[in-house]
Chains A and B, each alone.
Chain A
Amino acid sequence: DAKTTQPTSMDCAEGRAANLPCNHSTISGNEYVYWYRQIHSQGPQYIIHGLKNNETNEMASLIITEDRKSSTLILPHATLRDTAVYYCIVRAGGSNYKLTFGKGTLLTVNP
């Protein structure tokens, strides 16, 4: 699996957009970028995933650079409930049951 690099922690003001970066410079052509988050003591929650194109759902947007070496998860209007550890994971399609979770980014949304 391609290795990912994320900042250890980030802060965001409530109501503002939270932009979480992820570097995956060794990603290969068949690998997807997945984002999960884990609110304290709970099981991780799927957010979004993508291959090449930008993706948007009801939770977030995923922007993948044209060379696919990095991506950004965007929470458009962060709330206090978005405080969590966010994991960026790169994995080939068809093997999501073997996802490898690193340490992620602790996003703290402040009032």
Chain B
Amino acid sequence: NAGVTQTPKFQVLKTGQSMTLQCAQDMNHEYMSWYRQDPGMGLRLIHYSVGAGITDQGEVPNGYNVSRSTTEDFPLRLLSAAPSQTSVYFCASSYSTGGAREKLFFGSGTQLSVL
């Protein structure tokens, strides 16, 4: 199983450029989320989705858009990149089986630099 796959692994953008970070999971998980991690910090939730067609904002949503047209894919779009968005981005997925079901599966991350 591939698990959670993120592409690209590294990306350099110029201020004002737009791009999409890709995230795909092959575990048929209903929940998917995006986090960013800045140096010396924990992870902060950007956006999340509880199923296809349903998305919501996390702690730091400004400057990012998401959509969830399929169960497998949850792309993160930067509309106009800013240096403050330089970070490592992690995508995660999880499932619901009732009761104590709480396990997040993370991708390997995308390191983004905005110049």
Contacts and interface: CB of A to CB of B under 8 A. Distances in A.
B104 A97 contact: yes
B102 A93 contact: yes
B96 A44 contact: no
Range for the number of chain B residues in contact with chain A:
20 to 34
Contacts of A98: 33, 45, 48, 58
Interface in B46-71: 48-50, 58-59
Given A94-B96, A101-B43, A44 B101 contact: no
B33 A43 contact: no
A96 B102 CA distance: 5
Contacts of A94: 96
Contacts of A101: 35, 42-44
B100 A46 contact: no
Contacts of B90: 43-44
B107 interface: yes
Interface in A70-91: 87, 91
Interface of A: 32, 34, 36, 41-46, 49-51, 87, 91, 93-94, 96-104
Interface of B: 4, 31-33, 35, 40-45, 48-50, 58-59, 88, 90, 92, 94, 96, 99-109
